[in-house]
Structure 1
Amino acid sequence: MTRIRHFLDHNAGAPLLDAARARMIEAMDLAGNPSSVHAEGRAARAVVEQARAEVAALCGTATDRVLFTSGGTEANAWMLHQARPGRLLVSGIEHDSIARARPDAVVLPVDGGGVVDPDAVARALDALPGGAAGAMVVVMAVNNETGVIQPIAEIAGVARARGVRIACDGVQAAGRIDLVPLAGLVDFLSLSAHKIGGPKGVGALIAGAGVEPGAMIAGGQEFRRRGGTENLPGIAGFGAAAAVASARDRAADNRRIGALRDRIEVSLAAVADDVIFAGSNAWTGRVANTTSVVLPGLAGEMQVMRMDLAGIAVSAGSACSSGKVTASPVLLAMGFEDLAGQAIRVSLGASTTEDDVDAFVRAWTAMAARRLRTTVSA
């Protein structure tokens, strides 16, 4: 008998949507190269441009502002490619693709709730040698581990007042908050298809109005800014997923998913009085689907393995860092110190049910009780 699995790791990657799968299968049957001028090539080009329009609509921007990439990591690298050495500021809670990419960056601190203080951004910019001119600020919209929403409007105001560019990792924001105002605030926004039910291995860089990013890869594709034959099935699936995200009632989704997240936190707090939900005290709030659960005394990787054995998929942080038994840099930046290695991330999605949540609560409760017995016997 096949054991029922409960998938609670949507921040690592959401299940592929039926609409995305169907569009990808159609695209796979097209023989033409999107750059070819014959009928077959034009048919393939039409698929790319339909997807570009769908991603643009999700962001409320023009189609020529959407530049397809191999995923969020490449889009982040492209953003960083625009920043001059010694003129880059990044928050202390960024994804590894930003945090580890530029050792020359000035690191912006966060408070205990995981929020970047706009005033701290202003002070850091004003402290740059020669002033802020020519600098770039990079702050993610939604943290991938805690779900904490960053005050991008306020930070963008600080940047604009100093003539500074602002770039934003929007990978975890898509489908959870409105991207239209966000895209209008920043010079660059990165997205990844598989966070919204599209395929893995495709993403986009969204350039702000009037912003002309330098080429990432020489070649004729993507408005001569990213060479290489387009990933036609991936882009097609991305467009379909973006169309679904645009059509969904996001407020209703967030109410349902948020109620499930709250149910988890209330249930866990009732059985372990020392459990901590990192970022739950953020003054900016969290997206509805994410909780970072700190269980003192038990390593996060061990918690993930015990959940896996119980048929439940969660993570110990960013999927790009899985397999590494290390403390979370995000929680370290938030001041969790020794507890930074004792957390798991639970992330819900459109397919999450009450049964999934109840199964997790049962397994976590058993794990917490086992931890307590082990502590007492020791």
Structure 2
Amino acid sequence: MIYLDNSATTKPEPSVLQSFYQASERFFANPSSIHQLGGEAEKLMAKAKEQASELLNVHRDEIVFTSGGTEGNNLAIKGIALEHQGRGRHIITTAVEHSSVDEAFKGLEQLGFDVTYISVDENGVISAEELNDAIRDDTILISMMHVNNELGSIQPVEEVGQIAKQYPKLFFHVDHVQGVGKVPLELTDSGIDLCTISGHKIHGLKGTGLLYVKKGTVLYPLFHGGNQEQALRSGTENLAGSVSLVKALRLIKEREHAGIKHMYMLQRILRKKLSEMDGVEVNTPEDAAPHIINISVPGLKPEVIIHTLGERDIYISTKSACSSKQTDESKILTACGHGTDRSTSALRISLAYDTTEEEIHIFLDALAEAIDQLKAVLE
């Protein structure tokens, strides 16, 4: 099997699975219980939070464990909007966000919030200057992704963070789901108030994640109940999931430097060979994150190519897995100014640290054969 759909989800590391199993078996008690077993579970939860904070170089109380990217993004966006709407109801995002951000903003529009969607250039990148110009007296939130999940484009979040610092009453949220382990991001003194991370994108388990909430940032919770997670996420804690997330985060941090270098090498091979293929258009910009290459094959349906490759045990995807079963058109490529011929024929190849050069060459040969076969059928 050659798996090149790592931006949709990654294969869990065996040691991450083991950490989940061990925590589930030994520390099964409710961390809120006052007996000794509950106390042991509570101590392990505190240890997991401490380790996560050390890995991210933030304070322990700034970590909130979640169920993943969608919950983290919704808690950050809606939490700020609902809590601080008395100061203003203007919020800013970009035209190329993940559906969990885009739909959250659309939902807030239905509640009467005024949303500005910042446009992008042909590479899928916003202008920090344009964003700065969009800030108003009643702006309370900026939310944007670090790395685009379809193109791999890197947004200028560090620059936007410095802009956000100039507006003390404005909060800045970063969706870092695709950036962790691929494009490092320092949170301390960055101007970033909230940052979302998902476990299953870093060889952890689905249903795990965390939200960084900078000290002093007040959110309206999505869940009300027993006041777990500093009353920001009520509900019995997923202790085993949190432990496994921290394990995955530790492993990705240990391999980060060499892994990024390796993926850039593979990406260069992909870019060169794909650019030489007849009928293939490379959509990912040169200065993108190392793990994503997005291409279009105008005239061919992307799902047909995917199924053809799947028959050879090679797996790639179209766009975001969260929207891949919806309309064929990529809103990201459309926002970049591409026509329907490219925006409806996009394919995404996404790498992991363990992807090998041999696998890339096998994939490239198989793709070229698939395209030739499908074009022959259409002639």
Q: Same fold (TM over 0.5)?
A: yes
Match of 1:352 in 2: 355
Whether the 8 Å CA contact 1:60–1:179 is kept in 2: the answer is no
Segment of structure 1 superposing worse, 192-201 or 56-65? 56-65
**Aligned residue for 1:128?**
none
Structure 1 unmatched ranges of 5 or more: 126-130
Report the equivalent of 1:150. 155
Contact 2:181–2:260 (8 Å) recurs in 1: no
Q: Distance in 2 between matches of 1:58 and 1:179?
A: 12
1:221 paired residue number: 228
Q: Secondary structure at the match of 2:165?
A: helix
Q: CA deviation at 1:8?
A: 0.5
Q: What letter corresponds to residue 198 of structure 2 in structure 1?
A: S
Match of 1:119 in 2: 129
**2:76 counterpart of 1:79:** yes
For residue 63 of structure 2, what is the aligned residue in structure 1?
A: 66
Alpha-carbon distance between aligned partners in 1 of 2:36 and 2:134, rounded to the nearest angstrom: 54
Residue type at the aligned position of 2:318: A
Q: Secondary structure of the residue that 2:186 maps to in structure 1? A: helix
Deviant stretches of 4+, over 6 Å: none
Give 1:229's aligned amino acid: T
Could you say what the CA RMSD is over the residues aligned between the two structures, in angstroms?
1.8
How many Å separate the matches in 2 of 1:146 and 1:47?
38
Partner residue in 2 for 1:331: 333
Alignment match of 2:259 (pick from 250, 253, 261): 253
Cα distance in 2 between the residues matched to 1:225 and 1:370: 54
Identify the residue that residue 314 of structure 2 maps to in structure 1.
312
Instruction: List per-residue Cα deviations over 1:126-171 (Å, max 9, x = no partner).
Output: xxxxx33342111101111111111011112223323422111010
Q: Distance in 1 between the 2:343 and 2:241 partners?
A: 36
- Residue of structure 2 in register with 1:342 after alignment: 345
8 Å contact from structure 1 (residues 196, 242) kept in 2:
yes
Paired letter, 1:279: T
Cα distance in 1, alignment partners of residues 9 and 105 from structure 2: 25
Partner residue of 1:27 out of 23, 27, 33: 23
Contact in 2 for aligned 1:110/1:117 (Cα 8 Å)? yes
Residue 55 of structure 1: how far off its partner (Å): 2.2
Matched residue, 2:112: none
Deviation of the 1:328 alpha carbon: 1.0
Q: Alpha-carbon deviation of 1:319? A: 1.0
Counting only pairs closer than 5 Å after superposition, residues 1-378 of structure 1 correspond to structure 2 as 5-29=1-25, 30-81=27-78, 82-83=80-81, 84=85, 86-103=89-106, 104=109, 105-125=115-135, 131-163=136-168, 164-181=170-187, 184-218=190-224, 219-248=226-255, 250-272=256-278, 274-281=279-286, 285-338=287-340, 339-374=342-377, 377=379
Identity of counterpart residues, as a percentage? 27
For 1:221, the aligned partner's letter is Q
C-alpha distance in structure 2 between counterparts of 1:31 and 1:186, whole Å:
35
**TM-score normalised to structure 1 length:** 0.91
- Answer yes or no: is the 8 Å Cα contact 1:315–1:344 preserved in 2: yes
Distance in 1 (alpha carbons) for counterparts of 2:284 and 2:6: 18
Q: Residues 297 and 371 of structure 1 are in contact (CA less than 8 Å); yes or no, is this contact kept in structure 2?
A: no
Shift of 1:278: 1.5
Cα shift readout 1:44-69 (whole Å, capped 9, x = no counterpart) = 12222222223222321011101011
- Displacement, 1:326? 2.1
* Inter-CA distance 195–40: structure 2 relative to 1 (3 Å threshold): same
Shift of 1:200: 0.3
Is 194-203 or 250-259 further displaced after alignment? 250-259
Q: Distance in 1 between matches of 2:357 and 2:350?
A: 14
CA contact (8 A) 1:54 1:242 kept: no
Q: Secondary structure at the match of 2:349?
A: strand
Q: Could you tell me how far apart the structure 1 residues matched to 2:75 and 2:34 are?
A: 29
Deviation at 1:179, TM superposition (A): 3.0
SS of 1:345 mapped into structure 2: strand
Q: Is the 8 A contact 2:164 2:191 kept in 1?
A: no
Distance in 1 separating the partners of 2:89 and 2:283: 32
For residues 75-111 of structure 1, give each alpha carbon's deviation from its aligned partner in whole angstroms, at most 9, with x where no partner exists.
Answer: 0001111124841111111000111222222211000
Ranges in structure 2 where 5+ consecutive residues have no aligned partner? 110-114
Q: Secondary structure at the match of 1:222?
A: coil
Deviation at 1:260, TM superposition (A): 1.1
Aligned equivalents of 1:181 and 1:233: distance in 2? 26
- Quote the Cα distance in structure 1 between the aligned partners of 2:302 and 2:54: 39
8 Å Cα contact 1:54/1:240 also seen in 2: no
